[in-house]
Amino acid sequence: MSNLFRKMTVRNLFRVLFLRVLKSPTVSNISVLLIISVATVFFIVYENMVITHRYMYLEDITAEGKVDRVDSVYKDPLIPPFNGTREERIAWFEKQLPKLELFKSRSSNSKFHDQVSGFRDSNCRVQYFMVWFSPAQSFGVREFSAVDSLFKASPKGCLMILSPSLDSRQGDRILKPLINGGFKVLAVTPDLPFLLKNTPAESWFNELKSGRQDPGSIPLSYNLSNLIRLAMLYKYGGVYLDVDFVILKDFIGLRNAIGAQSISTITKKWTRINGAAMIFDEGHPILYDFLEEFAATYDGSKWGHNGPYLISRVIQRVENKPGYNFTILPPKTFYPMDWIKIARYFKKPCTESEQKWVEYMLIELERSTYAIHIWNHRTKELAIEDGSVVQRLISAHCVICHQRNPY
C-alpha cells in the first residue's frame, strides 16, 4: 500500500467517524472538542510517520564483499529536526555523524579515486556523472529512463552514479540490463573527505564535522548533492547531469559550458543559470570559484541558495573576466520546458491543433536540444500520457525500452 493511499485511507476514516459523532444526539460540545483534539494529535503523529518513511541504509556484507543496503522505515539520517534551532541542528548532526559512511574517508590513498580513475581509463568517449542520494528502491522508471536515454545518445560514453544506495546488490540489479547490454555504468559511494581535500570547500566540511557550521533546516542530502557535483567536476572533469533528464544528443561536442534556465525577453541576457547540467574540464577556475562560494556563503535553510542561485551569483561576477573561457548555452539546450507550464508536455493530444503542436515541438526539440530537464520535483505526480511530447521522446531515445516500460 502506498504512502498516498495510506494517508487517504486515514483521512477518509477520520471524516466518516467525525461526521457520525457530530450526528449523534448524545454527544456534547465538550466531547466533540475532546474527540477533535485526540484525532488531531493522532493524525499529526501518523503524518510524521509517513513523512519519515524515507531511508537509512542497513548494511550487510555479502559473501562477494558487496554491501547490501536495505531501505528501512527509519528516519533519513540527513534530514534535520523539524523547526529546530541552530544549536539543535548542530547537536543533531554531531549525533548522526558516526553513522554517516559518506563522511568517512576510506583511506589516505582513496579507493574511491582508484575506482574513478580506473573507470575513466576504460576508453570512455565522454565521462558522465550523476548523483543519487535517495533509496535504491526510489530509483524508478523515470530515473532509469534518464540513464537509458544517455546510452542511446552516447553509447560509447561512461556513466558513474555517485550513490551510497545504488552501490549495492540492489543497485546492481537495477543497472544490470544496461551492463548486460555492454554499456559502461557504475554506481560508487562517494568519498566526501577525499573529494573536498585541497579544495576551498574543505574548510566548510571541517567546520560542519566539528560542530561550528549549522547544517541548516533543508535535508542535508540536497546541499551535499550540490557540493559533490562541483567537487567531482573540479577533480576529474566531465559532464554532470541530474537524473531527471531525457538525453537527446551526445555531449562530445560540448566543452566548458553550462546552461541558462531563463533569459530576459527584453535584453535577451540570462536571468538564471542552472547547475543541473554542466560540462567542464578538470580544474577549471570557475569550479574553484563555485566551491569557494559554497563555503563562504553556505545557508542550509534556503532552497536553491547553494545550487542554482550560487551558480548564478558566481557567473554574474566572473563571466566577463579574462581567463575563465566558458560558454553559457541558451535555455533550449537543456531547459526548453518551462517548469511552470510543463504539464502540457505530459498530456496526450486530443484535438488536431494539439497534435500539430506535439509534432512541431518534437521537431524543434530534436533539432536544438541536447537534453530535456523534466523537473521531477514538479512533475512526479503527473502521468506521462501516451502520445504526449515526453512519452514520444522517451520512447524514441532508449536502448532498454522494450524491456522496461518508462511510463
Average pLDDT, the chain: 85
Q: Where are the domains of the chain?
A: 3-51, 111-332
Backbone angles phi, psi at 67, to 5 degrees: -70, 130
Query: Is residue 208's pLDDT more than 90?
Result: yes
* Interatomic CA distance for residues 104 and 160, integer angstroms: 20
Query: Is residue 129's pLDDT more than 60?
Result: yes
| CA nearest to 162, candidates 218, 227, 95 | 227
* Neighbour-count burial of 103, counting CB atoms closer than 10 A to its CB (0-12 exposed, 13-18 middle, 19+ buried): middle
Q: What's the confidence (pLDDT) of residue 24?
A: 52
* Interatomic CA distance for residues 221 and 71, integer angstroms: 16
Q: Which residues contact 53 (CB under 8 A, 6 or more apart)?
A: 3, 73
* Interatomic CA distance for residues 301 and 217, integer angstroms: 5
Q: What's the confidence (pLDDT) of residue 135?
A: 92
* Interatomic CA distance for residues 43 and 14, integer angstroms: 9
* Interatomic CA distance for residues 391 and 349, integer angstroms: 12
Q: What's the confidence (pLDDT) of residue 110?
A: 74
Burial 262-287 (b: 16+ CB within 10 A, else e): eeeeeeeebeebbbbbbbbbeebbbb
Q: Which helix (H) or strand (E) holds 288?
A: helix 285-297
* Chain segment 293-322, per-residue pLDDT in tens: 999 999 999 999 999 999 999 999 999 999
Burial 147-182 (b: 16+ CB within 10 A, else e): bbbbbbbbeebbbbbbbbbbbbbbbbebbebbeeee
CATH class of the domain whose range is 111-332: alpha beta
Q: What residue type is 175 in one-letter code?
A: L
Q: Which of 108-122, 128-142, 189-203, 295-309 has the lowest mean pLDDT?
A: 108-122
* Interatomic CA distance for residues 5 and 367, integer angstroms: 42
Enter the pTM of the model. Answer: 0.81
- Can you spell out the DSSP letters for 82-130? TT--HHHHHHHHHHHGGG-GGGS---SS-HHHHHHHHHHTTT-SSEEEE
* Neighbour-count burial of 389, counting CB atoms closer than 10 A to its CB (0-12 exposed, 13-18 middle, 19+ buried): buried
158-162 sheet: strands from edge to edge: 184-188, 158-162, 127-131, 238-241, 270-280, 257-263, 327-329
Q: What's the confidence (pLDDT) of residue 201?
A: 98
- Return the C-alpha cell found at 204: 566548510
Cell numbers 549495492: residue = 168
